[in-house]
Amino acid sequence: MQSILSSQQQQDFLRRGFSRRHFGRLASVIAAGATLPFYNESALAQQSQKGAPIPPDAIRLNANESPWGPCPEAADAIHNIVQRGGRYLYEQTNEFVELLASQEGVPASYVRAYPGSSAPLHQAILGFCSPQKSYVSADPTYEAGGDAAQFIGAKHVTVPLRKDWAHDVKAMAKADPNAGLLYLCNPNNPTGSLTPRADIEWLLANKPASSVLMVDEAYLHLSGAPSVIDLVAKDKEIVVLRTFSKLYGMAGLRLGAAIARPDLLKKITDYGAFAVPVTAVAGGFASLKLPNLVPQRRKMIGDIREETIAFLEKHNFSVPPSKSNCFMVDVKRPGEQVIEAMRKEKVIIGRLFPAMPNHVRITVGTREEMQKFQAAFLKVTA
- Contact (CB, 8 A) for 345 and 381: no
**Separation of alpha carbons 68 and 254, rounded Å:** 16
User: In this structure, which amino acid lies at residue 43?
Assistant: A
**E strand or H helix at 61, and its extent?**
strand 59-61
Give the separation between CA 217 and CA 160, rounded to whole angstroms.
Answer: 20
Contact at 8 Å (CB) between 154 and 106?
no
For 368, the domain range is 42-68+293-381
* Same domain membership, residue 13 and residue 105: no
249 and 132 assigned to the same domain: yes
Please tell me whether residues 263 and 362 are part of one structural domain. no
Sheet holding 179-185, edge to edge: 111-114, 256-259, 238-243, 212-216, 179-185, 134-139, 156-160
Look at residues 267, 288, 309 and tell me which one is the last residue of a structural domain: 288
Domain count, the chain: 3
Residues 105 and 248 placed together within one structural domain of the fold: yes
Q: Using DSSP, state whether 185 is helix, strand or coil.
A: strand
Distance of CA 255 to the CA centre of its chain: 12
CATH number at residue 62: 3.90.1150.10
Q: State whether 200 and 339 are in the same domain.
A: no
Q: What is the pLDDT of residue 3?
A: 54
**Contact at 8 Å (CB) between 259 and 104?**
yes
Q: Do 198 and 308 sit in the same domain of this protein?
A: no
Per-residue confidence (pLDDT) for residue 230, from 0 to 100: 98
pLDDT at 205: 98
Same domain, yes or no, for 50 and 132? Answer: no
Does one domain contain both 337 and 277? no
What pLDDT is attached to residue 169? 98
Flag residues of the chain having pLDDT under 70.
1-6, 10, 13, 19-51, 273
Under 8 Å between Cβ of 244 and 96: no
Classify 115 in phi/psi space as left (phi over 0), alpha (psi -120 to 50) or beta: beta
Whether omega before 187 lies within 30 degrees of 0, making that bond cis, reads yes
- Regarding whether 312 and 365 lie in a shared domain, the answer is yes
Instruction: Identify the CATH number of the domain in which residue 250 sits.
Output: 3.40.640.10
User: Are both 350 and 267 inside the same structural domain?
Assistant: no
Does one domain contain both 27 and 49?
Answer: no
Are 93 and 237 in a shared domain?
yes
pTM over 0.85: yes
What's the pLDDT at 271? 76
Q: Where are the alpha helices (DSSP H) in 178-292?
A: 197-206, 229-233, 262-269, 278-288
> Which pLDDT score is estimated for 270?
82
d(CA 58, CA 56): 6
